[in-house]
Amino acid sequence: MIVKVIADHAGEGKFPTFKAGTQVLMGEDCKHFIGWSACEIDGHATYVPKLFVSGGKLTKDYNPTELVQEAGDVLHVNEIVHSWLIATNEKGVMGWFPAESVVSI
């Protein structure tokens, strides 16, 4: 699916990719995004889809880096997870992007 960004998104910084099996210290559930929780992974404060965690460990490789995009940019959607997209931008960079900030084209 191809989408167009309708609202600028600044992201929350760059993160390393955490390997499956990495310990996750779960925090509070997100109020705005159902299915997500605040967490700490290898000393990094971030957020994680709860379905990526079982028994306090990641079930798959996970990189929480969000795409920094501006309105009008085009993204290719790879996966949708609880109101967020794993998408690739026109420069070939992959990351998370909020589904509420795009429309299908």
In this predicted model, what pLDDT tens digit does every residue of 58-86 receive, in sequence order? 999 999 999 999 999 999 999 999 999 99
Q: Where in the chain are the domains?
A: 2-12+65-104, 24-58
Handedness of CA 17, 57, 75, 71 (dihedral sign): negative
The two three-digit tokens of residue 12, written as one number: 């929350």
Give pLDDT, residue 83. Answer: 94
**Looking at the DSSP assignment, which residues form a beta bridge with residue 79?**
86
pTM of the model: 0.93
| Gap between the Cα atoms of 70 and 68, Å rounded | 7
Handedness of CA 26, 31, 32, 33 (dihedral sign): positive
CATH ID of 2-12+65-104, from 3.40.50.720, 2.30.30.40, 3.30.565.10, 3.40.50.10490: 2.30.30.40
In this predicted model, what pLDDT tens digit does every residue of 3-62 receive, in sequence order? 999 999 999 999 999 999 999 999 999 999 999 999 999 999 999 999 999 999 999 999
| Gap between the Cα atoms of 22 and 19, Å rounded | 6
Give pLDDT, residue 82. Answer: 94
